[in-house]
Structure 1
Amino acid sequence: MNTYTTGTTELAEMVEAEMMYDFQAQAAARRGLGIVTSRVGGGGVLAAQHDLYRYWSKALGFGFAEPVTYDLIDRVLDFHRGREVPMAVLQIAPSAPPADWDELSAAHGLKGGSSWARLGAPVEGTRTAALTDLRVGPGAKPTQSSGPL
């Protein structure tokens, strides 16, 4: 695992990148999805050649060990092109894009997609009083199988 001195947002980004990289590096995932992984610029680059859902091919964790540059994006795209994946997601942390991100992304043909929000707080600062009657806990045991899903 990479170690950096960062703030909470950057730490959340790096934890996600490491989790995804470690998961996809497992032998079973590699075989089933045709996964190839690599490190580029301190981030994880993941290509899943047999991913019908187009979820697992991604690149994330950039802008901490090395700045996001034209060269970095070239290396990430070259990795995915070399694995012939039809699509990949490039996740850039909110603090990581360079000042010329609009020009850099346009030069590479990158287009914005969905945004993800990660919420966090110190444990001692969170509220535990429920605002709903929903609960999290074990469910009742099924009495009869409904068959395969």
Structure 2
Amino acid sequence: MRLAVTGREGQVAASLVEAARGREGVEVVAVGRPGLDLARPDTVLAALEAARPDIVVSAAAYTAVDQAEDDKDLAFAVNATGAGKVAEAAARLGVPVIHLSTDYVFDGAKDGAYVETDATAPLGVYGASKLAGEEAVAAADPRHIILR
């Protein structure tokens, strides 16, 4: 199985790549800037085509939670539009996408753990941009999994 992990410069992607490397039957391709830049959606399809994945793990994201309040356009470009483009590319390649989201899509008011059917209610730009990304992924690739 060939796994393409986006966001190779990030902590989560780097950890996933490290954990997957060396596993029997798993080949990992880490993709990221400049070849795949979610702020530049025109880079996504070509980068994933070159990776030739069986599964795409969408780990690239704008993660500066506080800064997102001032950089709303960039946060949405990366976390919503960019995530959607990754899922579109995966669908075009005929492969599933596993999209990594965040608990920031919830307001934190619930006692106990959230489950996938709980209502979302992001409190800030970061959470709203990640929720928009979840929606874009779900709309783009019917073979998706969203992890929060």
TM-score (norm 2): 0.33
- Give the structure with higher Rg (CA): 1
Larger % of helix: which? 2
Asked which structure has the greater RCO (Cα within 8 Å, sep 6+), the reply is: 2
